[in-house]
Amino acid sequence: MSATTATSRMSSTTRPKPPAGRRGKRDRPQKWGSPVTYFVALLFVGVCVAPVLFIVLGGFRTNAQITTEPAALPSPWVVGNYLDVLKSTMFWGQFANSLVVAIASTVGIVVLGLMVSFVIARYDFKLKGAMYSLFAAGLMFPMVVAITPLYLVIKDLGLVDNLLGVIIPQIAFGLPVTVIILVPFLRAIPNEIEEAAAIDGTSRLGFFFRMVVPLSLPGVVTVGILGFVGSWNNYILPLYILNSQANHTLPLGVQVFSSQYSTDTAKVLAFTSLAMLPALIFFSVFEKRIVGGLTGAVKG
Amino acid sequence: MSNTLGTDTAAGRRPQGAPRAGDADTATSPAPPRAAAHRRGRTRTRLEIAALSAPAIITFLAFVIFPVALAAYYGFYQWKGYGDPTDWVGLNNYRLILTDPAFHDVLWHNGLILVLSLLIQGPLAIALALLLNQRIRGRSTIRVLIFVPYIVSEVIVGTGWSLMLQSNGAVNDLLHRIGLGSLEADWIADPDLAIWTLMAIITWKYIGFAVILMLAGLQSIPDEIFEAAQIDGASYWQIQRRITLPLLGPTIRIWAFLSIIGSLQLFDLVYIIWGQYVSGTAGTSTMAIHMLAQGRNAGNYGYGSAVAVVMFLISLVVALLYQRFVLRRDLRGAVTEGTV
């Protein structure tokens, strides 16, 4: 609540510097640093990446290899585990569920968030401040706190074991961050543009679709990515809402798979690797924006 | 943050679209042109406000605020999770919570995780960010790689780590191979070790986020300040202690805030690695796990809801106190900085 409003206010003052100059200065061709620096950096990177590599490489081993020498490299490399997973309809079904849930949640978060942020940023009315505080307060409510009653609400709506039962709450819980990020963007659109549009006979809604949406694109992309990653990784909501295996999303699938095939470690590792691959690919493509979005979200 | 937003695809649009200093101030002044607003008519404007904001507000109220309020309501009942709650017990659930040794345990775990997170991750992240902020090659690749643990979901890293940490798992095998066989241990099940194992995994998972945040903070400090200090003959350590750390203050305080809230609400990792039943005996159970164990598993939903409320109240009080006593300085700074 107010703590978050505080951070958002702060951020708008820490943002102003021209980004290109700053970035350019730091990233220009540089001389090599000291070996100690590289050593520590490599060590750090190694610690971060090694467990993930273990999971990926583990999928290329046999269970016998894993049992006798858990920390060794695959020898020989086997691809059977990966092929088995890739051939299973369960994996692809869960992949599709995750994709549907993530895309629908993202679209919902962006569309609803943009609309309400526009109202908060550009209209002048009594309840404006209350509206902003309401969403800002939402940052204090983790899904875990509300999960049991949330389940009951979903049950009353008949959406248990239905992907919509995951999508709608995810949209709701994604709105606070979205509003906090988008409002400053929309506020920064100069009034002159709106006046010009009004003189040209464009209605406010026309202005919204023709000017606001394109102009706030960087902010929209950021909240979209945050929404997508958050949805893709969400665990507790699918855990409560989705009962049947056909409706599981990948995080749930990983957990169920790993308890069902607990003796087939290699296959579990292959399944887990393939489940994290989409997030990693998505991340490497959008790395700059995700990192930017997170720091932006944190700072305001 | 803004530099990333600006330099990417929509770079050309940034001048209009980007937030600027002092935006917060424009919030209070009537934003759109008044003459135009009058012409358009009030009813029309009200309709637009309602149409644009209703979907978000209704969704938010129905699926965030209402469930939270419902949790507070159920907390006053001895409720089994079906039908309408009938057995009003007033504050009895809360009295039980306060006297429940199991709750004291989970509260202690949450507190320990909170303090250790701050003490381990904070200094480590600042040190690593200072290191990575130097002019070294491959910095952007490093930035991507250290962020990988953060982006991989809790379920996946939890599954991976629990396999590696089994008594016959990769971690023990590795220790054996490099001649540290004496250090082999039952990392997950040993109650003396489990909380430290959890701390190690938490640190591994979230340190990248902290480093990235600190790096962003460091990059927003103007180079001129360092150059001036260097010209004045300040040593590297003097510069870090007197200039970098104070200027990094706001970033550190926001990171600490997020870390505190995250520590209080920790759920996924513990649930995946220790499961719902052994986390208690292993000494890693948290408030959220306790809530679930009492509510969903033991069928004691009234008590579980009360635990949820206590969790929320603790978060809220911590957040408010933090804002009042720690972030206040940043707020005051923000007002003056705005003119720079």
Q: What's the distance, Cα to Cα, between the start and end of chain A in Å?
A: 13
Q: Are B59 and A168 in contact (CB under 8 A)?
A: yes
What is the rounded CA–CA span in Å between residue A300 and residue A294? Answer: 10
Residue A18 tokens read as 């021209």
The reply to whether A113 falls in a domain is yes
**Annotation: CATH topology of B92-332:** MetI-like fold (1.10.3720)
Q: Which residue is listed with tokens 């943002």?
A: A15
pLDDT tens string B148-186: 898 888 888 998 898 888 888 888 888 888 888 778 888
Amino acid code (one letter) for A22: R
The reply to whether A89 falls in a domain is no
Kind and range of the H or E run holding B71:
helix B66-74
CA distance A276 to chain B (A): 6
Amino acid code (one letter) for B218: L
CA distance A295 to chain B (A): 5
The reply to whether A142 falls in a domain is yes
Residue B40: which of A75, A19, A203 has the closest Cα?
A203
The reply to whether A52 falls in a domain is no
What is the rounded CA–CA span in Å between residue A70 and residue A173? Answer: 40
Amino acid code (one letter) for B228: A
Does residue B201 surpass a pLDDT of 80? yes
Neighbouring CB atoms inside 10 A of B153's CB total 21
Q: Are A205 and A243 in contact (CB under 8 A)?
A: no
Q: Domain locations in chain B?
A: 92-332
pLDDT tens string A264-289: 888 888 999 998 888 888 888 877 77
Neighbouring CB atoms inside 10 A of A226's CB total 22
B304 close to A (CB below 8 A): yes
- In residues, how long is chain A? 300
The reply to whether A148 falls in a domain is yes
Q: What is the number of domains present in chain A?
A: 1
The reply to whether A26 falls in a domain is no
DSSP of A232-258, one letter per residue?
Answer: HH--HHHHHH--SGGG--HHHHHHHHH
Instruction: Say yes or no for a CB contact (<8 Å) between A194 and B59.
Output: no
Instruction: With H, G, I as helix, E, B as strand and everything else as coil, classify residue A77.
Output: coil
Does residue B2 surpass a pLDDT of 70? no
Residues 259-278 of B with CB under 8 A from A: 261, 265, 267-268, 272
- Helical ranges in A69-142 per DSSP H: 80-87, 89-122, 128-138
Q: How many CA atoms lie within 13 A of B197 on its CB side?
A: 28
Is the pLDDT higher at A37 or at B39? A37
We report the CATH number of the domain holding residue A146 as: 1.10.3720.10
The reply to whether A232 falls in a domain is yes
What is the rounded CA–CA span in Å between residue B338 and residue A64? Answer: 64
What is the rounded CA–CA span in Å between residue B165 and residue B200? Answer: 11
Given B131, B135, B157, which is nearest A31 (Cβ)? B135
Q: Which residues of B touch A217 (CB under 8 A)?
A: 10, 13, 17
What is the rounded CA–CA span in Å between residue B322 and residue B316? Answer: 10
Window from A214-218, B147-151, B248-252 with minimum mean pLDDT: A214-218
The reply to whether A79 falls in a domain is no
Burial class (CB in 10 A: 0-12, 13-18, 19+), A64: exposed
* pLDDT (0 to 100) of residue B39: 57
* pLDDT (0 to 100) of residue A11: 41
pLDDT tens string B233-246: 888 888 888 888 88
Rounded to an integer, the average pLDDT of A133-156 is 84
- Helical ranges in chain B per DSSP H: 2-7, 14-17, 23-26, 34-40, 42-60, 66-74, 92-99, 101-132, 139-146, 148-151, 154-165, 170-177, 194-219, 223-231, 236-239, 245-264, 268-282, 287-292, 301-325, 328-337
Residues 160-199 of A with CB under 8 A from B: 168-169, 171-173, 175-176, 179, 184-185, 187-191, 193-195, 198
